[in-house]
Structure 1
Amino acid sequence: TVETEAKVNGEKEDAPTDKVVLTDVVKYKNLIVGKTYKAKLVWMDKETGKPFLVDGKEVTVEKEFVAEQENGEIELSVTVDAKHFEKDTQLVAFEEVYKDNVLVAAHKDINDENQTVRVNQPKSKLKTEAKVNGKKEAVLEQSLTLTDYVHYTNLVVGKEYTVKLVWMDKATGKELLVNGKPLTVEKTFVTEKSNGTIELSTVVEAKYLTQGKLVAFETMYEKGREIASHRDINDADQTILLKKPRLPKTNIGSNLTAYVNMLLGSGALVALLDSKRRKRSK
């Protein structure tokens, strides 16, 4: 008899982005010690009830072994690229054991949970909150701290991820350039919880910025493969506003009037004195 325990990446369920390691531990009973046997495994698509195909071929594993004990186990493993899973998929391991090309045991139950694994599509989502100097807007004076708080959901605990941020100029819809290069921030981290927040900050001198709105675009990767993004040029949460400094108020208008009046007054005074001088001379 044969019993099995199937796993994907060491678990009963996973949402891998690169490699899908399908493993089935075949537990056998009542074999003849010292005899050679061959175990054959084919992975079935539970939805269709047919073999799961990769590039048109069945995903199978074969392994020859010598029974050292009457009861024991043997592990059958195969690696598949995650790109072949276009949707959430349930796979069921069907096993057969042969001796001298004669079938001596099998385990083929499409509804057996022990034989079943679930390969899910990554469902990570990003939501962000952008700020400048801790607020939604700031004046272009000295240096500015641009910060984006990336809130993520549905990551796999214990896995390493990378978040990349690029600041966009909303007016042009293009990347903001500082010294001719896009203003970007990148951070790699290992998840302790499936839902959490990552902070991405950078300091920029105000002289490199102009008045207007900046929008934070974020992309998350797992081993180089994009699994989530948040890129909406019209999202207020992703947007910050930069303003020109206000010019200081002056009394230039009143001062100018006083100066003109002073000049006019002095001119009238000169004319009056000149007039009196002429009268005396007569």
Structure 2
Amino acid sequence: GDHEAVADDSVSIVDSVSYTGLTPGKEYTLTGTLVDKEAGKPIQSDGRDVTSTVAFTPEAPSGSVDVTFEFDGSALGGHAVVVFESLKQDGEEVASHADIDDEGQTVELVPPETPPATPPSEEHDGGKLPQTGDTASLLPAGLATAAAACVAAAVAIRRGKGVGADGEVDDEAVVEA
């Protein structure tokens, strides 16, 4: 699905938050925290909670801002993480979203696929590249290259949300500022 990321040593999740009703010219701070769905606690990478904070000053009452999380997720294969958000102005929280069961905020971290080892045989000369006119099939080399590219790819998840009058960040809400 589109709410999946490969749990490798370089995971990137981008949370795109749409807002309405903010005061132009005033600085806001949006902080996101990744929470392990099963444990109900923030996930950790390198001994620290995985958080991301963005300060922004809206030019108009409506717009959007991205919060990017980059972390080592190699130990998190099979876990689901949920994005919690807090929006502050002058140190005061004006909106938040912290629903552990929100599927729209959940990203499944899937273990990276390991390409099967191809043992050397008479047909495949143990890693020798096929030569022009060589009868060796290009398919195994192509599949190994495609699998390596899939494992190495960074994943960015984008999810649009609004900030509701009740302070909840969700898909359809509006904040009255």
Letter in 1 for 2:140: I
Aligned residue for 2:35? 44
CA shift, 1:89, in A, is 1.5
Aligned residue for 1:72? 63
Q: Does 1:90 align with 2:67?
A: no
Distance 1:70 1:222, change over 3 A: same
Answer 1 or 2: which has greater helix percent: 1
Q: Does 1:60 align with 2:51?
A: yes
CA shift, 1:75, in A, is 0.2
Letter in 1 for 2:23: I
Please give the secondary structure, in 2, of the residue aligned with 1:44. strand
Which digits, 9 at most, give the CA deviation of each residue in 1:18-37, with x for residues without a partner? 41002111122211122111
For residues 1-282 of structure 1, the aligned pairs below 5 Å read 11-85=2-76, 87-126=77-116, 128=118, 131-132=121-122, 146-147=123-124, 165=126, 184-185=127-128, 197-199=139-141, 222=148
Letter in 2 for 1:94: F
TM-score where L is the length of structure 2: 0.66
CA contact (8 A) 1:14 1:120 kept: yes
Answer 1 or 2: which has greater strand percent: 1
Distance 1:76 1:186, change over 3 A: farther
CA shift, 1:72, in A, is 1.4
Please give the secondary structure, in 2, of the residue aligned with 1:63. strand
Distance 1:126 1:77, change over 3 A: same
- Higher RCO, Cα 8 Å, sep 6+: 2
The separation in 2 between residues aligned to 1:32 and 1:55, in whole angstroms, is: 37
The separation in 1 between residues aligned to 2:27 and 2:59, in whole angstroms, is: 10
The separation in 2 between residues aligned to 1:45 and 1:186, in whole angstroms, is: 44
User: Runs of 5+ in structure 1 lacking a partner?
Assistant: 1-10, 133-145, 149-164, 166-183, 188-196, 201-217, 227-282
Which digits, 9 at most, give the CA deviation of each residue in 1:181-240, with x for residues without a partner? xxx4369xxxxxxxxx4159xxxxxxxxxxxxxxxxx9x9847x89xxxxxxxxxxxxxx
Please give the secondary structure, in 2, of the residue aligned with 1:185. coil
Distance 1:186 1:62, change over 3 A: farther
CA contact (8 A) 1:38 1:98 kept: yes
CA shift, 1:124, in A, is 3.5
User: Runs of 5+ in structure 2 lacking a partner?
Assistant: 131-138, 153-177
Distance 1:61 1:117, change over 3 A: same
Letter in 1 for 2:92: V
CA contact (8 A) 1:147 1:199 kept: no
- Aligned residue pairs total 141
Letter in 2 for 1:43: L
CA contact (8 A) 2:113 2:147 kept: no
